[in-house]
Amino acid sequence: MNNSRAWILVAVIVLVTAALRFLPFLIFGGNRKVPRIIDKLGRVLPAAIMGMLVVFCLKDVTVGSYSGWVPAFVGCVAVGVSYVWKRNTLISILLGTLAYMLLVQLVF
Amino acid sequence: MATLPVMTGYLVLGFGFGIILKSSGYGIFLAFCMSLLIYAGSMQYVAIGLLTGGASVLTTALTTLMVNARHLFYGISMLGKYKKIGKSKPYLIFALTDETYSLVCRDHPKIPEEEVGRYCFFVSLFDHAYWVLGSVAGAVVGSLVTFNSEGIDFVLTALFLTVFLEQWLTTKKHTPALIGVGVSVVCLLIFGKDSFLIPAMLLIALLLCLYREEPNHE
């Protein structure tokens, strides 16, 4: 993609992100009460979106050949096991990425 | 001092972002601008995919909307605290990332009330600086050293997976998380990997609006 197009997309992301951050303060800046459905979405949406993003990241996985799924599977297991064990985001990310990179570069 | 845990995280994740952006063929200046102006970690990683994949403006806007929708709710929960914060309020709102939110949303019993604004301001500013610094450093290193970075994009998968697990482990109600995963997988199978994101987002939002929260027995 050429560079001017990249800048346009970045501008869109900047605007939407800032709008999302400012909107609550603009709408509920007075003493207006937060509606219950918004309140509920605030509690349940984050978990669902994270689930969706994990699936989004794994969308290129295929089951036809070992190289299509083994690296991602091993990477995810490394992240999962280390995270449940240590609860340290950084350690898990490094371990999982390292395992994945080694597998795609050296084994498959 | 409170920002130390965020510092390591932001420097490393920012660094990873810089390296990947650079290896996708974009410049250091773009890395700097994205980290300074977007300043939303996971969205910036997703953005690399959008840039290299040639996404449309509409897809980009909708994806940003969904990935960053949680910021609406951070804002809602900070309404009270940021009410009387003074001149730095616009910056504080702009810089309210996941990690900064996790620091400023707590109670601060040791800080006198009139100092809370200053405290939140410096937490936000330091976090922002770590993030920009990390990404520029990553982009610079990425342009100086050439190494086989194949597979480094797994950083993003791993990041989302840890957030997902953290949410899973800290709640007893897993229905929303299962809706997110289930709907996405089904949409992926039906619509294919290039166009499943938007139907998945809409369906998730719809189902969650209809979803009744189980009473909390904790």
Report the chain B residue with the minimal C-alpha distance to residue A36.
Answer: B209
Q: Which of B81, B104, B164 to mutate to test the interface with A (most CBs of A within 10 A)?
A: B164
DSSP line for B96-112: --HHHHHHHSS--TTS-
Q: Are B204 and B177 in contact (CB under 8 A)?
A: no
Q: Are B141 and B121 in contact (CB under 8 A)?
A: no
pLDDT at residue A42 greater than cutoff 50: yes
Average pLDDT of chain B is 84
Residues 56-85 of A with CB under 8 A from B: 56-60, 71-72, 75-76, 79-80, 83-84
* Cα gap B28→B30, rounded to integer Å: 5
Residues 109-148 of B with CB under 8 A from A: 148
* Cα gap A105→B15, rounded to integer Å: 21
Question: Closest by alpha carbon to A43, among B76, B58, B56, B196?
Answer: B76
Question: Closest by alpha carbon to A17, among B205, B10, B71, B103?
Answer: B71
Helical packing angle, A89-102 and B4-23, nearest 10°: 30
pLDDT tens track for B138-190:
999 888 877 777 787 788 788 889 888 988 988 888 999 999 999 999 999 99
In a domain, A71, yes or no: no
Residue appearing with tokens 């309404």: B79
Higher pLDDT, B35 or B112: B35
For residue B152, the model assigns a pLDDT of 78
For residue B199, the model assigns a pLDDT of 86
pLDDT band at B214 (very low <50, low <70, confident <90, very high): low
Beta strands in chain A (DSSP E): none
For residue A82, the model assigns a pLDDT of 95
pLDDT at residue A69 greater than cutoff 80: yes
DSSP line for B151-205: TTTHHHHHHHHHHHHHHHHT-S--HHHHHHHHHHHHHHHHH-TTT-HHHHHHHHH
- Say whether A44 and B167 touch across the interface (CB within 8 A): no
In a domain, A15, yes or no: yes
Q: Which of B50, B130, B154, B185 to mutate to test the interface with A (most CBs of A within 10 A)?
A: B154
pLDDT tens track for A81-108:
999 999 888 889 889 999 999 999 888 7
Residue ranges of the domains in chain B? 4-148
For residue B125, the model assigns a pLDDT of 92
For residue A107, the model assigns a pLDDT of 83
In a domain, A104, yes or no: no
pLDDT band at B218 (very low <50, low <70, confident <90, very high): very low
What ipTM describes this predicted complex? 0.84
Q: How many domains, in total, are found in chain A?
A: 1
In a domain, A89, yes or no: no
Per-residue tokens: B52: 């290299």
Least confident of A76-80, A99-103, B106-110, B139-143: B106-110
3-state secondary structure of B29: helix
- A and B: number of Cβ contacts within 8 A: 249
pLDDT at residue B217 greater than cutoff 60: no
For residue B107, the model assigns a pLDDT of 67
In a domain, A39, yes or no: no
pLDDT at residue B91 greater than cutoff 80: yes
Higher pLDDT, B212 or B51: B51
Least confident of A7-21, B34-48, B189-203: B189-203
Report the chain A residue with the minimal C-alpha distance to residue B21.
Answer: A6
- Say whether B57 and A9 touch across the interface (CB within 8 A): yes
For residue B118, the model assigns a pLDDT of 86
In a domain, A14, yes or no: yes
In a domain, A13, yes or no: yes
Angstrom CA distances, A58 to A32, B13, B152, B153, B192, stand at: 41, 19, 14, 11, 13
Determine the structural domain holding residue A9 and report its residue range: 1-31
Question: Exposed, middle or buried by CB within 10 Å (0-12, 13-18, 19+), for B216?
Answer: exposed
pLDDT at residue B104 greater than cutoff 90: no
CB < 8 Å to B20, chain A = none
Least confident of A16-30, B105-119, B196-210: B105-119
The pTM (predicted TM-score) of the whole model is: 0.74
A7-45 as b/e: b if 16+ CB within 10 A: eebbebbbebbbbbbbebbeebeeeeeeeeeeebbbebb
For residue A1, the model assigns a pLDDT of 47
- Say whether A58 and B157 touch across the interface (CB within 8 A): yes
Per-residue tokens: A21: 């951050």
Report the chain B residue with the minimal C-alpha distance to residue A90.
Answer: B9
In a domain, A3, yes or no: yes
